[in-house]
Amino acid sequence: MQITVCIKQVPGTSEVDIDEKTGVLKREGIDSKMNPYDLYAIETALRLKAEQGAKVNVLTMGPPQAEAVIREAYMMGADKGFLMTDKKFAGADVLATAYALSQGIRTLGDSDLLICGKMTTDGDTAQVGPEIAEYLQIPHVANVRRIHEINEKAIVVEMNMAESVEIQEVQLPCLITVEKDIYPPRLPSFKLKLKTAGRPVKNVTFKDLKDRNEMHYGLNGSPTQVLRIFPPEPNKTNEHWEGSGEALSKRLAEKLHELKFI
C-alpha cells in the first residue's frame, strides 16, 4: 500500500500586521513552519503504515526552503519526500495548486490513499484536497475524524458533519482530508533526524510533469486573482464604562432593557 500525504509550509504565525498606509505586511519575526493541520495528516498515514506496512510519501509544492517540512516529516517517520518547486508554479491559486499537485502525484506511481490536512493557516480555504481528487478522478471524503478500517480495496471513515457523523465506505484509491481530533500527532524524533539527515528529497519540476502546458500552472493557470489585501476594519462604535460593580451592573441591566433583551 502506498500513501501520499500533501503538506504545505506556512508562515510561523498568522498574526501578521499590515501597514495601513503602504499596504505592506509587517513581517518581523515571521519564520516558516509546517501547516499545523498537516501534522494530523502525516500522523494518520504513519498509523496506517504501522498497521498495514504501507509506504508513506510526502509531497509539497513551494519554494526551495519548503524542503524543511519534508525533513520534519522524515523525522516523524515518512519514507520518501518530494518537493515541487519551479518558477512556473508561482502565483498559484487553489485550482492551479491542486492541478500541479495532482500532476506531481501522478509521477509517484499509484497511491492507494491520499491524505490532506483539513485546511491551512495562511490561505485557509480547505479547497485544495477536494480539487486534487477531482483532477485525479477519485472519490474524496472531507472532514474525516476517524478511520474505522482499511484493506486493499476500501477504507471506512467517519465524516464529521454539523449535527451528525456519516460513516462511509470508500473504494480505494481515494483522498481524505483529516480533522484535528483524528490522532494526536507524534513529535519529530531525534533518532530519525540523525537517521534521515542524508536522505534525499526528490525535486519535481515542471519538466518532470506529464502536462507541460505552462498555461495550466502558477499564475497563468489561476482563475482567481487577489486584487488587494488589507487589514480588517476595527469596530468604530465603542463606549467605555467605568465605575463600581454595582453602578456598572445597573447600567448594564438598563442597557439590556433598552435593547429589548430583557
Partner 1 sequence: MAKIIIHQDAVKDPQKAVSVCPFNAIESTEEGLSINAACKMCKICVKRYPEIFEYVKDEAPSVDKDLWRGIAVYIDHIEENIHPVSFELIGKAKKMAAKIGHPVYCLLMGDNVGNMAEELLHYGADEVFVYDKPQLHHFRIEPYAAVFEDFIRKVQPSIVLVGGTTVGRSLAPRVAARFRTGLTADCTVLDVQENTDLDQIRPAYGGNIMAHIHTPRHRPQFATVRYKIFDAPERSNTKSGTLTPCKIGDDKLHSKIRVLEIRKKEKVKSIEDADIIVVAGRAFKKEEDLSMAYELADLLGGMVATTRPLIEAGWSDPRMQIGLSGRTVKPKLIITCGVSGAIQFVAGMNNTENIISINRDPKAQIFDIAHYAVIGDIYEILPDLIARIKAGSTQQGTS
Ligand X SMILES: Cc1cc2nc3c(=O)[nH]c(=O)nc-3n(C[C@H](O)[C@H](O)[C@@H](O)COP(=O)(O)OP(=O)(O)OC[C@H]3O[C@@H](n4cnc5c(N)ncnc54)[C@H](O)[C@@H]3O)c2cc1C
Residues 48-77 that bind ligand X (CB under 6 A): 59-62
Residue from 51, 109, 124, 184 touching partner 1 (CB under 8 A): that is 124
Asked if 234 is part of the footprint of partner 1 (rule: CB under 8 A), the reply reads yes
Which phi and psi (to 5°) does residue 239 adopt?
A: -105, 135
How do beta strands 55-61 and 80-84 pair?
A: parallel
What is the size of the binding site for partner 1 (CB under 8 A)? 105
Cβ(175)–Cβ(116) below 8 Å: yes
Asked if 63 is part of the footprint of partner 1 (rule: CB under 8 A), the reply reads yes
Asked if 212 is part of the footprint of partner 1 (rule: CB under 8 A), the reply reads no
Residue from 3, 4, 34, 37 touching ligand X (CB under 6 A): that is 37
Which phi and psi (to 5°) does residue 142 adopt?
A: -95, 165
Residue from 2, 33, 108, 123 touching partner 1 (CB under 8 A): that is 123
Amino acid identity for residue 245 in this structure = G
**What residue number has its CB nearest to ligand X?**
123
Q: Which is nearer to ligand X, 17 or 195 (CB)?
A: 17
Q: Which is nearer to partner 1, 37 or 74 (CB)?
A: 37
CA 213 from centroid of its chain's CA atoms: 26
- Min. distance of Cβ 152 from partner 1 in angstroms? 14
- Min. distance of Cβ 260 from ligand X in angstroms? 26
CA 205 from centroid of its chain's CA atoms: 21
Look up residue 142 and give its DSSP letter.
E
Sheet holding 201-204: strands in order across? 154-160, 140-150, 174-178, 113-117, 2-6, 55-61, 80-84, 201-204
Residue from 11, 47, 199, 202 touching partner 1 (CB under 8 A): that is 11
Cβ(214)–Cβ(95) below 8 Å: no
For residue 219, give the C-alpha cell. Answer: 499564475
Report the partner that residue 116 touches, choosing among ligand X, partner 1, none (CB closer than 5 to 8 A by kind). ligand X
**113 pairs with which residues across the strands?**
3, 174
How do beta strands 9-11 and 32-34 pair?
A: antiparallel
Residues 127-186 that bind partner 1 (CB under 8 A): 127-131, 133-135, 139-143, 156, 159-171, 174, 180
- Min. distance of Cβ 183 from ligand X in angstroms? 15
Query: Which residues sit at the interface with ligand X, rule CB under 6 A?
Result: 6-8, 35, 37-38, 41, 59-62, 92-95, 97, 101, 116-117, 119-120, 122-129, 224, 226, 229
